A = this chain, B = another copy of it.
Amino acid sequence: MSFEYLTNVPLKKAREDYLKLLKEKGFDSKTETIPACRACGRITARPVYAHICAPHYAASAMDGVAVKAGDTFGATETTPVTLKTEQFVELDTGDPIPEGRDAVIMVEDIVRKPDGSISIHAPAAPWQHIRQIGEDVCAGEMILGAHMEVSPAAIGAMIAGGVMELVVIKKPVVGIIPTGDEIIPPCSDPKPGDILEFNSSIFSAMVKGWGAESRTYPIVPDKFEEIKATVSKAAEDCDLVILNAGSSAGREDYSAEAIAQLGQVLYHGIAIKPGKPAILGCLGAKPVLGVPGYPVSGIIVIEQLLKPLIDRWYHSSPAPEKTAAATLTRPVVSSLKYQEFVRVRMGYVGEKLMASPLSRGSGVVSSFMKADGILTIPQGVEGYEAGKQVEIQLLSREERLKNTLVVIGSHDPLLDELANMMHLEDPRVYMSSSHVGSMGGIMAIRRGEAHAAGCHLLDTETGEYNLSFIRKYFPKGGVRLLRCVGRQQGLMLQKGNPLNIREFKDIAGKDVRYVNRQKGSGTRILADYLCKKEGIAPEKIYGYEREELTHTSVAAQIACGSADAGMGIYSAAKLYGLDFLPVCVEEYDLLIPDHAWDSPMVRQLVASLKSPAFREKIESMGGYTLERPGEIIELGY
């Protein structure tokens, strides 16, 4: 094989070498002629010159009369000049100046006489009140240079200048080839093992945002000749090609070999994470980019390696990335071998912009959707400590970050509903919620990382919720507790309860596969407490160490049959049609630091909690009780 197999080239070098190779091969934009009126946002391929002057005729700039200035010379207040009807022409603003006239006198400055003549009391200077030919654009003048974006006003200037069409850079067509035996077209009832093909929809939306068009080919199975034939066809049809999946070095990975046989592979393997198995290849002057199958890897590779090609196509200098300095809420570990891209959620807490690393799973496309920014950790850096000031590439508008309520703590689906209601009521306001459990939320508030924390912590001594924990962790106060909901906790069970689980201690039964919540979550604390109370050793419960981060994901494991029981709230069980064994009603409240209290986000939060719409929504979800939500709970310091 002619290519370096699984290289580990630094990104910058890979990008530069790739651009250089493609330039040598003749990679360049095409042009097309389009009507000026449809050119907005397009990039000119060559300079645009006016064909005619605008205005193309001398026009009156006022309502009045057109005269020959020479006829008026000598007129003064005391010695007015009279103009006979044949010496002047009445006209409105915009009317052309008649042949032989070269000045306009405003209607206010003339005195009409009974015989139809007019008298004037001041001379008219030649060309007064006349909009000269070419005042806007002169014929032959350059309206726009080459490689300039056409704005709405430029369309006006072109048409005014008689330019009906112009030559612009053609939008490049990006061919997208999904491959893989397990890949199926999107549907809502896939079978186990089927992977929905949604990468092409993501990539297509991305390249369209960069000014390209996309053409997605039918899914190609893992058959070498078929892949090769499709790549060859796509390179003929399109200007750039994305070959998706099959770019790692596994047994079904024909991509690199197919590209190498058809053309050339420059690099296979880039020192980035995610995105390492990328293939940089070409067929003649057509770039063919092998992109990993995991969506997040694919997004990063396309952003880092395809976008520069589109920028080159348009001869444009890309807008610099918007960045902001932020404080990391958690440590991030990185491999020395790779330049890593870590998605982060962000929010302003007080004056401080905080960045919380999101899931780093390459398959978790929702984490990309939730990301407000990307933290880049250079190759050769081991990672960063919590509290470190880092530079983040912003994906969200700074204005949005300033109006985002940062909620960290225990998970409840009502948070999403609240987020929705808050934004509906006030479109400036957003919520970003991270699920780290009740204790995690308390700690986040202590560290000043959040505006609110959902918590439901049972003091097993007093049976009281939340208050004793807050008094313990905030001995000097500085926080308020906002009443939210009471919620039904219990055991979620397979539909019909086939294992006949009747009380909590039955989860220690021989055939019961339990699924737990993560340590530090209120639900886990409750489960641990119930174990202790019932005298069950956790190691006797099969799957007690299997941790999920939300009620919904616990319910999902039970619904699909991979577990039999798990502790969670009624609404989650209801959502998945599971059986539910009630255990207790707990208080789920929101802890809010005083400094956040007077923000528009918290004001809207309180308003939404108190709204009838919230009550209605919560009641429809089931398993909640509502007792004065939105009220402050007396902490009794």
Contact = CB atoms under 8 A, between A and B. Distances in A.
A545 B57 contact: no
Interface string A537-564: 0000011011010101101110110100
A94 B362 CA distance: 12
A605 interface: no
A125 B545 contact: yes
28 contacts: A40-B209, A41-B205, A56-B192, A70-B542, A94-B182, A95-B182, A126-B542, A132-B557, A132-B562, A134-B556, A134-B557, A135-B363, A138-B550, A138-B553, A140-B552, A140-B572, A141-B552, A142-B416, A142-B417, A151-B205, A152-B209, A152-B299, A153-B368, A155-B201, A160-B196, A162-B188, A315-B427, A316-B427
Q: Which 6 A-B pairs have the closest CB atoms?
A: A40-B205, A159-B198, A145-B420, A162-B188, A153-B368, A57-B192
A190 interface: yes
Nearest to A416: B142
A198 B250 contact: no
B363 A556 contact: no
B556 A92 contact: no
A365 B136 contact: yes
Contact of A424 (B139, B315, B419, B556): B315
A352 interface: no
Interface string A29-66: 00000001100110000010001111111110001000
A587 to B, nearest CB: 23
A501 to B, nearest CB: 19
Contacts of A36: 186, 201
Nearest to A398: B320
A186 B37 contact: yes
B145 A553 contact: no
Contacts of A144: 369
The residue among A95, A145, A155, A419 with the most chain B CB atoms within 10 A of its own CB is A145
Interface string A187-198: 111101111101
A76 interface: no
A560 B58 contact: yes
B162 A424 contact: no
Nearest to A557: B133
A542 B198 CA distance: 74
Contact of A556 (B138, B154, B192, B317): B138
A476 interface: no
Interface in A196-224: 196, 198-199, 201-206, 208-209
A383 interface: no
A546 B162 CA distance: 26
Size bracket of the A interface: 35 or more
Contacts of A162: 187-190, 196
Contacts of A157: 365-366, 369
Contacts of A194: 56
Nearest to A403: B317
Contacts of A193: 57, 59, 95-96
A164 B140 contact: no
A319 B397 contact: yes
A12 interface: no
A9 B631 CA distance: 43
Given A53-B556, A133-B562, A152-B201, 19 more contacts: A36-B186, A37-B198, A40-B208, A53-B560, A54-B196, A57-B560, A92-B251, A126-B513, A127-B546, A131-B363, A132-B553, A135-B553, A139-B575, A139-B576, A145-B416, A148-B423, A153-B368, A159-B201, A160-B365
A559 B133 CA distance: 10
Contacts of A319: 397, 399
Contacts of A127: 543, 546
A102 interface: yes
Contacts of A160: 196, 198, 295, 365-366
Contact of A146 (B154, B199, B299, B424): B424
A427 B164 contact: no
Contacts of A590: none
B576 A369 contact: no
A413 interface: yes
Contacts of A397: 319
A93 interface: yes
